Structure 1
């Protein structure tokens, strides 16, 4: 197969409004910012710092989520056909659960200091995640003419959303719901991992704009590790170690591809880098706490620094692109 067979992120015709071209992938930025807030809060707790930095990050996350949600809702009202095109797109379809994942992550970040507000976000987040998981998977196995080149690591996003549920769900008192979503998430992660590795190995390379999604390989085992710790009472057992070390190896695989990612022009798909790095940061810091490993402790601190640099760069590049009118353009 040639590059002409690879999926292109087609938008609407030239001359359409920026609102019409607002992509659902923008919600990936909320996931990344929420990951920063959670990582900062854990670091502040471990080192005895105040929580000003994590609160500021969480406030920014909520503000961005509200802004993007309102804009996308307006797009749905004014340009329902454009939303329909994204829903039927083999790549963008997988990003719709980023909306529910954002709710779940914000609920997780709010839980330590505002449990009532966290519950108010977590419950609709769980309901929406369940609905979107069913809808997306039904779309995958329906009559749509998907082919192997349509698969990308972005397809992990619905699975990741399910394993996020227990991270806040267990402490909130919903263990059975948490187990259900965790089970579904792990099973579909393993199925999708097989499909994605087959696509990456035996078919054409990913198109340039999709290269950053390779980092998403890190997220399912890293988030799964955090969820498993909640479900099994915080015990660092064999399965927890398997999940964490799998995340490390996927991180090594993704790191090898970074050079190629940095060569392509900036696009909103670069935000796919942020949440997986945050998930690995959180997992490493938790692993260090439970194992007492000095190596992992230092690795967690280093990853936090990397995360802050990555997200700061993404924020800067996004603001720069907005100022230059280089995003929300027809693709």
Structure 2
């Protein structure tokens, strides 16, 4: 532990991306495309990475306290509360329903509490517009919408509706604030630039939650969500040159869950619409997102092995002794 670099709050993004990939494979299994067992394996891996991340991050309370007071870092801590809901609802529920319900409910309560505290802080304290970034979606928008799907998946439909409302309204409010910052202020600095990928996430995550609530039917509202989602995916093309110039860091995991949510929503649409070649299209989607997440995972292992994954701790200034 002494030689470990500073563990940033976005360390939880790795387990989030792996859980998102597991969700894609779960939908593939649901539609008879992918073999059984892959989802469980990915969920176990996501749970293991989440647990290691928790040990590494929360072991240093001084850093945690500093992140909680930092408008840039605080939103990422919420991912530690979101990931267990995904794992419980998709990985644990088929094997231990009661345990899955308890875990989902506990982390929904924690998500509401943390999201509420941050919302109050953003309203009450002076917020520097330059520090606003798409990661602000995580505590309430991602938290609310993932919680909605998780609650519905474990049989708590009314709670799912409650959390869908929380996530949807927060998306509308925060989306306008974040877009205003991105449109009229200077571009995000390189360390935060990968968070632009999070812009694509709310629409597909809302779509997944909505499909869970409406019994996986395509209707007007589902089409509205998909339309906005497609727009934001196309907008990402403009960022590719800047993405390719970035130096690898834990922030790269921001790409994984965002695009995993897009892949999962696309998979649902493909298999409900069943266009010509839908089976091949489904595998194309699954293969592409697996390559993306797998590539980031392997790159992470290389960086960890070389001791270059976590940012180094700042060197304290030398102590100057006084002489009489």
Q: Structure 1 304/48 Cα, relative in aligned 2: closer, same or farther at 3 Å?
A: closer
Count the aligned residue pairs.
311
> Which residue does the alignment assign to 2:321?
none
Paired with 2:258 and 2:286, the residues of 1 have a C-alpha distance of 12
Q: Return the offset for 1:202.
A: 0.7
What is the CA–CA distance in structure 1 between the aligned matches of 2:32 and 2:146, rounded to whole Å? 25
Distance 1:177 1:37 in 2: 23
1:104 has 2:89 as partner: no
CA contact (8 A) 2:100 2:154 kept: no
Describe the shift of the 1:55–1:173 C-alpha distance in structure 2 as closer, same or farther (beyond 3 A): closer
* 1:120, distance to aligned residue in structure 2 (A): 3.3
SS in structure 2 of the partner of residue 71 of structure 1: helix
Uncovered stretches (5+) of structure 2, i.e. residues with no partner: 315-324
Q: TM-score, normalised by structure 1?
A: 0.88
Q: Supply the distance in 1 between the matched residues of 2:191 and 2:286 (Cα, whole angstroms).
A: 26
Say whether the 8 Å CA contact 2:25–2:34 is kept in structure 1.
Answer: no
Within the candidate set 131, 151, 174, 2:132 is matched to 151
Corresponding residue to 1:83 among 41, 64, 70: 64
2:217 to 213, 235, 249: 235
The one of 252, 272, 278 equivalent to 1:270 is 252
**CA 286–86 in structure 1, closer or farther in 2 if over 3 Å, else same:** same
Equivalent positions of 1:63-142 (< 5 A) are 63-76=48-61, 80=62, 82-110=63-91, 111-142=93-124
* In structure 2, C-alpha distance between the alignment counterparts of 1:197 and 1:169, rounded to whole Å: 29
Q: 1:294 to 1:200 in 2, by over 3 A?
A: farther
Counterpart-to-counterpart distance in 2, 1:247 and 1:21: 35
1:249 corresponding residue in structure 2: 231
Structure exhibiting the larger radius of gyration computed from Cα positions: 2
Distance, in Å, in 1 between the alignment partners of 2:243 and 2:95 is 38
Q: Which residue number in structure 2 is paired with residue 287 of structure 1?
A: 269
Q: Which of 53, 56, 60 is matched with 2:41 structurally?
A: 56
In the alignment, the residues of structure 2 paired with residue 323 and residue 228 of structure 1 have an alpha-carbon distance, to the nearest angstrom, of: 41
Counterpart secondary structure, 2:48: helix
Residue aligning to 1:311? 293
Query: In 2, Cα distance between the equivalents of 1:171 and 1:30?
Result: 20
CA deviation vs aligned residue, 1:233-289 (integer Å, no higher than 9, x gap): 322110111112221221111233122112111111110000011111111111122
Which residue matches 1:11?
A: none
1:132 Cα offset (Å): 1.1
**Structure 2 CA distance for aligned equivalents of residues 89 and 20 of structure 1:** 19
